[in-house]
Structure 1
Amino acid sequence: MSTNCTLFGGDEHKCSVIIGLKRGFGTLSLIGCLFMIGTIWLFRKYQVKAQQLILCLSIAAFFDTIGYMIGDMTKDGPLCDFEAWWMTYFDWTVLAWTSCITFNLYRMLTRQEHTPHWYFHFVSWIFPPLVLSLLPLIGDNYGPAGAWCWIKHDSVAWRFVIWYVPLFLILIFMIILWGRTLYLHKRSIPSWQGGQDTNAEMMRSLIEDDMKTLIWYPLVYLVLSFFPLILRIHNAATDQGQDIYFLWIMTAITAPLQGACNAIVFGLDPETKSKLTWLHIRMAWASRFSQKDVIQEYTVENDSTAFGDSETRASGASSNSENVPYGSIEGKQL
């Protein structure tokens, strides 16, 4: 274990516990991210717009988790700067994709349309993540920051500009938008009963599917952000060395846990769970590597799954939007 411990008065044992927890829970998240990415790829769930957002969030969380796993109490220098930039950039991408999911849910419910995904990609990969993560390199503001490298303790202004202030504003935005989305959705359900317009009913079913699929991911982020946020606020308000062991323990557990918690939400989705059987996995795997189409038979049910979330919307046997219920709506460029 590292001998560069600057926390807890140089207590090597406590520092070792922090690093061990961070890497252990990071490993769980890495497995969770791979599970989500692999499942979305195997069953071609990426053909559905909601699943595209989940896939992008999973990729961002995967690389973010790598940052937590390789991050150590490294001495100030190029390697520490790289670790700090990596974590800053991918922390931002996870936050950005979670915000995009929240915004997309609200827009679907209020305007019944998707925001073009190129906009989400720009916001989540380029600005603010890339721009803000590069700014601290001006003046050598990256360096040792406790149990891993980040913005140095004496660069408090940079911490507020690069992370604290935007994070506070975005979290408030997410909480308000998430609550508003749940409220509007609950209020709109009675008005959806007994509609006669086929296209309107199909759109409502798709909105219901997206709500069930995406609504819990912003909540997961909000819950896991609590202890890391409290820790960094404490760091900003106190002198270096005034560390609270409990806060560091909880941060080491929750900060890298995004991928694992997302995987639990993903796996509990009824449509996804129904596919995680040996028969479905074997058929999907065969369809991936066989030149022959794999024809599957489905029972049409009189509920929201009749429109499906993956293979009914976008069958593994065909990606042509004209052959799936979602195709007639995607044509409107949701």
Structure 2
Amino acid sequence: MEIKRFGQSSNDSSRCTLFNTDSDDYRCVVILTVKRATATFSLIGCLFMLFVIWLLRRYHSLAQKMILSLTVAAFFDSIAYVMGEDHPEGRLCNFQAWWLTYFDWSALAWVCLITLNLYLNLVKEMRTDQYQIPYHVLAWGVPLLMSCMPLFGGFYGPAGAWCWITEEHVAWRFGIWYVPLFTLIVLMMICYARIIYVANKRMQSWFGTFNPERERRKVSLAEEIKPLKWYPSVYLLVSLFPLINRLHNAFYPRDPVFSLTVLHVFSAPLHGLANAFVFGLDRDTWGQLSLTGIQLALHSRLCDRTQIREYHPGPVRYMPADEMGFSDSDDDTNVLFFSPDMALKDRGP
């Protein structure tokens, strides 16, 4: 989530304190460039994900709403990495550090809750629509607690290319982020292994006469679990290099490794983006993003105002024909009222 302090300091504006060299040292320039490029790419990717969700209306079911919330958290997390460079110690630096911690945790919380929701749906066969509000309370409340503890303790400050927990509080870095992060990754791997095992066993157990609904569920379940095998690997990959670099910095605080630092600033801003892409862009979604598909979707969103609504019959008041102004000789076949007990052929044209 952070790298060792580098860049301009408040006392010496021409020094790169990471390697104790001039600020134009190629290593510092490379690190800063990689950080800016990765954070900007992550921000653009999140905006693209939000556009796709809006374009294809992927926000109706609970699972889709959770992916939308994950993408929103990833979007604001990317903003934290683009906020600034090496802020001096103060309110702005503390705000950036709090913002970064909060939305890093929000993205992680939504990933864990999506995993839990999938586990309850497929393994426990439970409906989880009623858990929508508790999910939001957990996904936005727990990060608030985790981000405010270092703030109230005064542990935030300049920490490299962005502000975070300072190098004087290494234990807080691991306690607030890295230990919970990798603990949750391991738990999610176990959970996904169980989901895939149960899903495969369930698909193999379906037999008997042909049932269209059962076959549809079988195909839907197979598509649901396809991307799962990639998710733990993707999240572990973008989290591994920051952990290795932080461990090295903890043991050798005065001897940073350039290659590890570059890998750190490259992969750290990709947490939320990787999550959003793995969960949000399946094969069916990519198939709808052709030029023709985008044009049709845009036309549907911007031009088509047709609304199809369900008709709910209400109480009916029956009136004599003479009160309505009709006589027996009126040749009119229109139905003036609707009764749910009427057969379709009795409802008129």
Q: TM-score, normalised by structure 2?
A: 0.75
Structure with the larger RCO, 1 or 2 (CA within 8 Å, 6+ apart):
1
Question: What aligned pairs does 1:53-202 form with structure 2 within 5 A after superposition?
Answer: 53-115=66-128, 116-127=131-142, 129-194=143-208
> Partner of 2:302 in structure 1?
289
Structure 1: any 5+ residue segments left out of the alignment? 294-316, 321-334
Counterpart residue number, 2:8: 3
How far apart are the structure 2 equivalents of 1:74 and 1:225? 24
Structure 1 residues 60 and 275: alpha-carbon distance in aligned structure 2, compared to 1, 3 A threshold: same
Q: Distance in 1 between matches of 2:70 and 2:214?
A: 29
Q: Residues 66, 6 of structure 1: CA spacing in aligned structure 2 closer, same or farther, 3 A cutoff?
A: same
**Distance between the aligned counterparts of 1:251 and 1:59, measured in 2?**
23
State how far apart, in whole Å, the 2-side matches of 1:118 and 1:291 are. 32
Contact residue 32 and residue 259 of structure 1 kept, 8 A: no
Classify 1:215/1:35 alpha carbon distance in 2 versus 1 (closer, same or farther; 3 Å): farther
**CA distance change for structure 1 residues 288 and 224 in 2, over 3 Å: closer, same or farther?**
same
2:52 to 26, 36, 39: 39
- 1:8 maps to amino acid: F
RMSD of aligned Cα (Å): 2.8
**Aligned position for 1:329:** none
SS of 1:46's partner is coil
| CA deviation after TM superposition for structure 1 residue 11, in Å | 4.9
State how far apart, in whole Å, the 2-side matches of 1:225 and 1:175 are: 14
Sequence identity of aligned pairs in percent? 45
Distance 1:170 1:195, change over 3 A: farther
For residue 27 of structure 1, the aligned residue among 14, 36, 40 is: 40
Q: 1:15 touches 1:147 (CA, 8 Å); kept in 2?
A: no
8 Å Cα contact 1:267-1:273 kept in structure 2: no
Segments of 5+ residues of structure 2 without an aligned counterpart are 1-5, 10-15, 311-349
Highest CA radius of gyration, 1 or 2? Answer: 2
Cα distance in 2 for partners of 1:25, 1:96 equals: 22
TM-score normalized by structure 1?
0.78
| Equivalent pair of 1:63/1:90 in contact (CA under 8 Å) | yes
Change (3 A) 1:201 1:132: same
Alpha-carbon distance in structure 2 between the residues aligned to 1:7 and 1:23: 17
Pick the aligned partner of 2:270 from 257, 280, 290: 257
Q: Say yes or no: does 1:52 pair with 2:57.
A: no
Q: Deviations over 1:137-195 (max 9, x none)?
A: 12311011233211111112322332233223212212221222223333332113557
- CA 318–238 in structure 1, closer or farther in 2 if over 3 Å, else same: farther
Letter in 1 for 2:99: W
